[in-house]
Amino acid sequence: MQGKILIIEDVKELADLIALYLTREGFEIRAVKSAEDGFVLLEEWKPELIILDINLPGMDGFEFLQKIRPGNGVPVLIVSARDSDEDLISGLSGGADEFVTKPFSPKVLVARVRALFRRVRDYEEKEPRRVFRFGPFVLDYDACILKKADLRIPLSNREYGCLAYLTEHPGRTLNPETIYAGVWNNPYGDLTTVAVYIQRLRKKIEDDPANPVYIRTVFGMGYCFNLPEAP
């Protein structure tokens, strides 16, 4: 098998055509008609590449892309009849890796898919990944994902941002103002939001969230990411 590809396209005939050509090339394909269904397969099936239409019923492709970035590093190839410079810029700046306009040659699309897979796999083989290990967890800064053993722990964008910021400063006490400015890129805001996300993270990484081992509260000062000594 060449790889797992999720097609999010509401025109069944086009989705079937893309799936036919990619299946012939050895790819495993799943197709859905909406972004909402795409979220389900993104978590359950974990595709290695997404082919995404922009004009979808309900949530459109741009919004879908915005919601999965930066919490998921899966490559995204946009296929759309919208070919203005603004659409192209919005797609690529929003986190897409390729943009193909309709109508297109299926053979050209297959070539783009192969090139994208090759680019990603060459990067994975040649470039050392930036990861942070603590206990049974591995936080992959490049892919923006957290795993416990081989199980992926789902994180929202802000949860990932808070965890990444804390782990980039292990052993250092960070006050809520510093965390908020670093994660939200805004020096002003509701600082109680930081405490909310810290509690959410503790529920996902701590055995006993009421007595945290990793994300500790330094009373009157803020939070500190702690690395317990190996037994």
> 72-122, pLDDT tens digit by residue?
778 899 999 887 888 888 888 777 888 999 888 999 899 999 988 887 776
Question: What is the Cα 192 distance to its own chain's centre?
Answer: 25
Q: Which residues contact 79 (CB under 8 A, 6 or more apart)?
A: 9, 18, 51, 52, 53, 100, 101, 102, 104, 109
For the segment 181-229, what is each residue's pLDDT rounded down to a tens digit? 999 887 778 899 999 999 999 999 999 999 999 999 999 999 999 987 6
> Hey, what CATH topology would domain 133-225 get?
Arc Repressor Mutant, subunit A (1.10.10)
CATH of domain 4-126: 3.40.50.2300
CB of 27 within 8 A of CB of 53?
no
Amino acid at 124: E
Highest-scoring range by mean pLDDT, 40-44, 141-145, 198-202 = 198-202
Q: Which residues contact 185 (CB under 8 A, 6 or more apart)?
A: none
Q: And the tokens for 223?
A: 């939070």
Q: Do domains 4-126 and 133-225 have the same CATH topology?
A: no
CB of 32 within 8 A of CB of 51?
no
Domain regions of the chain by residue span: 4-126, 133-225
Cα angle for residues 57, 93, 88 (degrees, 5° grid): 65
CA distance 51 to 90: 16
Q: Which residues contact 150 (CB under 8 A, 6 or more apart)?
A: none
Cα angle for residues 56, 49, 37 (degrees, 5° grid): 40
